[in-house]
């Protein structure tokens, strides 16, 4: 194919373009003038061909630059591809993508959520389970302990004098006892402290046989005392008496008792858990107990009628009948857990007060041994004695009791109330 040179073509175009622009302007000026025929003389000037270099100027005239045309760019020939009219090429199908199967149903349970930490506490009871432990039983069965992150184990001792000793030795976390026992043990240096009250009235008593059955009394004084006439308490010195707990025996034979008409000296025999056997076999005429709501009815069912002397009416000051004690040396590390336990006891006590019958049904269902007439009668006696504020400390009661024991010579050193009892519900100083 023949190609037209670009340089001459551009030169012609530049020469014609100014004339084409001037012609319409001249035509317009002619129409505004006189009406006469105009003759347009058009002169077409054809400039010389463009050159790449600057043209030489004549002498005395400056040279003028010429327009330099761009260099020609050689375009490579177009390579024609296959026509769309040609038969289509056979396209191989893409390999099928293999997607692994995903199960829509999980056949294994999800990973369990870590449970909150649980604090284990062991409580050694003062006796076998009975209605006076109602707050502990209800708190356990209603889940009040568990909701506070506690797992509480209740342990019945083989000896009612052992719980406080186990606690002092660090072999149990908590132990049940009585306020008089606490005063005596602290005076001896035991690291014990009261942290809660379950029963806030005395439960101790002296149970006396009303008759000696087939035995003849040794004296008229013994007959008078056994028949229940306690107007002559000096007759007790002639009787064979036993005891189940050391604190009641120590107080009964102290000047506290003699100041209220009891003998100055009473010989007592330790019968431990064998109180029923000792009374049944006739080895004793009476026994000092801290379960006066249970033993008289148990003896009556065996044909042994009795009469009970309430010790708070014969020299023993009013005191807390059932308390929860902790080891003072370990209290710092157990304070939070014991505080939660005491709060659970308060919640349980309030629930018992609002649902007395339901509480008894709950306890007997959990502990079938409680489901008998003796325990049912004892429950009626214990129910109104439950401490409604387990954490609270009666400062005056503990101070007065300590003072009386000191004056009677039962203890050697006066202890401050803070050494004997604490309220874990109050903020620490």
Question: pLDDT per residue over 185-232, tens digit each?
Answer: 999 999 999 999 999 999 988 888 886 434 444 444 443 433 334 444
Sign of the torsion angle spanned by Cα atoms 126, 127, 130, 136: positive
Instruction: List Cα–Cα distances, 341 to 55, 123, 194, 200, 363, in angstroms.
Output: 115, 11, 14, 18, 19
CA distance 123 to 136: 10
pLDDT at position 250 is: 76
Pairing of strands 174-177, 150-155: unpaired
pTM of this structure: 0.69
Average pLDDT over residues 23-31: 54
Vertex 97, ends 91 and 102: CA angle to 5°? 165
Measured torsion, CA atoms of residues 173, 176, 180, 186, in degrees rounded to the nearest 10: -10
* Per-chain mean pLDDT for the chain: 78
CA distance 372 to 374: 6
First-to-final CA distance of the chain: 112
Tokens read off for 111: 């990973």
pLDDT at position 228 is: 39
**Cβ atoms 338, 330 nearer than 8 A:** no
Average pLDDT over residues 84-96: 59
User: Above 60 in pLDDT, residue 128?
Assistant: yes
Task: Give which of 120, 135, 121, 122 is closest to 322, Cα–Cα.
Answer: 135
pLDDT at position 223 is: 39
CA distance 252 to 311: 8
Domains of the chain in start order, with CATH, are 119-201+319-420 (3.40.190.10), 205-313 (3.40.190.10)
pLDDT tier for residue 372 given thresholds of 50, 70 and 90? very high
Q: Give how far the C-alpha of residue 70 lies from the chain's centroid of Cα atoms, to the nearest Å.
A: 91
């Amino acid at each position: 194919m023949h190609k037209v040179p670009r340089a001459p073509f551009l030169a012609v175009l530049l020469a014609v373009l100014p004339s084409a622009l001037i012609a319409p302007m001249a035509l317009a000026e002619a129409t505004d003038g006189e009406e006469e025929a105009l003759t347009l003389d058009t002169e077409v000037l054809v400039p010389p061909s463009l050159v790449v270099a600057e043209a030489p100027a004549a002498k005395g005239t400056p040279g003028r630059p010429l327009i330099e045309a761009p260099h020609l760019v050689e375009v490579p020939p177009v390579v024609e591809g296959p026509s769309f009219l040609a038969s289509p090429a056979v396209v191989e199908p893409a390999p099928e993508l293999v997607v692994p199967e995903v199960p829509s149903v999980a056949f294994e349970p999800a990973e369990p959520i870590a449970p909150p930490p649980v604090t284990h506490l062991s409580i050694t009871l003062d006796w076998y389970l009975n209605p006076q432990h109602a707050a502990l039983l209800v708190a356990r069965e209603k889940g009040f302990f568990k909701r506070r992150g506690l797992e509480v184990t209740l342990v019945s001792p083989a000896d009612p004098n052992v719980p406080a000793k186990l606690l002092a030795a660090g072999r149990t976390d908590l132990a049940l006892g009585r306020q008089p026992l606490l005063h005596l043990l602290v005076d001896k240096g035991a690291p014990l402290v009261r942290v809660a009250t379950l029963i806030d009235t005395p439960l101790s008593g002296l149970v006396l046989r009303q008759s000696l059955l087939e035995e003849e009394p040794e004296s008229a004084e013994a007959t008078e005392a056994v028949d229940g006439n306690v107007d002559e308490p000096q007759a007790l010195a002639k009787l064979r008496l036993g005891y189940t707990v050391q604190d009641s025996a120590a107080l009964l034979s102290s000047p506290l008792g003699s100041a209220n008409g009891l003998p100055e000296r009473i010989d007592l025999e330790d019968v431990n858990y064998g109180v029923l056997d000792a009374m049944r076999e006739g080895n004793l005429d009476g026994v000092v107990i801290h379960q006066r709501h249970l033993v008289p009815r148990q003896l009556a069912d065996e044909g042994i009628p009795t009469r009970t002397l309430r010790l708070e009416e014969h020299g023993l000051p009013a005191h807390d009948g059932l308390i929860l004690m902790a080891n003072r040396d370990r209290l710092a590390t157990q304070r939070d857990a014991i505080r939660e336990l005491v709060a659970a006891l308060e919640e349980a006590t309030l629930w018992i007060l609002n649902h007395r019958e339901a509480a008894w049904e709950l306890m007997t269902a959990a502990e079938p041994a409680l489901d008998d007439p003796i325990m049912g009668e004892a429950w009626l006696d214990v129910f109104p004695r439950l401490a409604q504020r387990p954490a609270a400390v009666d400062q005056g009661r503990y101070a007065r009791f300590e003072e009386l024991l000191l004056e009677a010579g039962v203890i050697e050193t006066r202890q401050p109330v803070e050494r004997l009892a604490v309220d874990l519900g109050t903020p620490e100083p």
